[in-house]
Amino acid sequence: MVVRERRTQAQRTAESRRRLVDAAIALLAERGYSGTTLLEIGRASGLSRGLVTHHFGTKEACMEAVVVAIRERLTAIVNAATRDVRGLDAIDTLIDVYFAQMRSEDSGARAMYTVLTEAVTAAPGLRTVTARNNEVFRRVITGRIMEAAAAGESIREVDPEVSAVLVEGMVRGVAAQWLIAPEDIDLDVVVAELKRVVRRSLTAP
């Protein structure tokens, strides 16, 4: 006889939130922001709209939870991939991982771009959480640039935080173009050149 361990209320709550966030991510990637309603999130999760409202209150609050979840998942993947690499090599690996996620079956990356766009246009209430997301991404890049300089790599004498803004802009810009028209862009070629451009922008002549 198999005895199933009874879950606590906290565990049940966490599981419900995870299912709702996962459903919201999938819907954002497939239908966009306007097509992702609280009702549809509830249906897709196998729960109910009432639970979505109970856990998050509003659609924007749910989207904030989505951004945090995607960031935490991507951060864990990047940390695992760069555990044994340092400096500029780690930035190369970060770029590779970023675009691998874009191309994967994981809908998180596409969902993130949907939210980023809406934060600029129809949902300004999401600007704070998306700005935080960008800040975390830049901080990772800044840390790797400083690490490279400390290891003796020939890094340009530019504020690492400024360089991180430029690197983030290049990475996100390429990703946005590819998402819009993937058939027009050979991503393998472009990512390889992107890494070379990033290295040239960071290293001293």
Q: Which residues, other chains included, contact 149 with Cβ-Cβ below 8 Å and sequence gap of 6+? A: 155, 160
SS3 203: strand
Q: What is the pLDDT of residue 6?
A: 67
Q: How far apart are CA 65 and CA 83, in angstroms?
A: 27
Q: What is the pLDDT of residue 173?
A: 96
Instruction: Assess if CATH 1.10.357.10 describes domain 9-202.
Output: yes
Q: What is the mean pLDDT of residues 34-56?
A: 90
Q: What is the mean pLDDT of the chain?
A: 92
Q: What is the pLDDT of residue 175?
A: 95
Q: What is the pLDDT of residue 141?
A: 97
Write the pLDDT tens digit of every residue in 48-82: 878 889 999 999 999 999 999 999 999 999 999 99
Q: How far apart are CA 28 and CA 114, in angstroms?
A: 7
Q: Can you name the residues that pair with 155 across neighbouring β-strands?
A: 203
Q: Is the pLDDT of residue 1 over 60?
A: no
- Among 48-57, 74-83, 94-103, 167-176, where is mean pLDDT lowest? 48-57
Q: What is the mean pLDDT of residues 131-157?
A: 95
pTM of the model as a whole = 0.87
